[in-house]
Amino acid sequence: MEISGPGGIWQAQSAATEITTRLRTGTGRAVLREGRQGQLIVGSASELRRYQDEADLLSGRFFLRGPVAVHVAGHHVVMDGPGQLRVDLGPIERRVAVIAGRLRIALRGQTVEVGAGQQVALDSGRFSAFRETDPWYAAQFRGWARPPWRRCAVRSGCWNAAIRGWRDWGMI
């Protein structure tokens, strides 16, 4: 994750920090929390900025849990209650899709509501059905590392630590 610094120079960030300019991700994803208890997951190769004290999603893909209020490619999006939505801002597809709940979006000078199972194309304003086929935001990375029992001998008194390690790794 990088934040735009003075003179527009990108600076790597590894600790929690307030975003006052632009943020971009490389490989992986970043999880941001908004002040109203919402959550924003920023996908790989995505970029956003802070605009009028809200996130302004510029490019890439995003997953949001409501309640949230954001700007998406010049459109104000508000989800007042609990819910989930995804935003795709790529070169081919630019859309807002509601997975659960309802949201309001400013489109062509009007505020319209979008419900669960619907998506709106930002360039045309066209509504269509939405069914999730690529839940990238819910990916769980699991793997096997050196098993915890290899780090200690039974007689050394660390057997309980090995059992806890197995639980942490989802092995028991």
pLDDT tens across 47-103, in order?
888 888 888 999 999 999 989 999 999 899 999 999 999 999 999 999 999 999 999
In 90-150 the beta strands, taken as DSSP E runs, fall at 94-100, 102-107, 110-115, 118-121, 127-129
DSSP structural state of residue 166: H
- For the chain, give the number of residues: 172
The residue behind tokens 């309001």 is 104
The β-bridge partners of 4 are 10
> What's the pTM?
0.73
pLDDT (average), residues 127-142: 82
| Distances 129 to 10, 85, 115 between C-alpha atoms, Å | 38, 14, 10
Note whether 87 and 67 are within 8 A (CB).
Answer: no
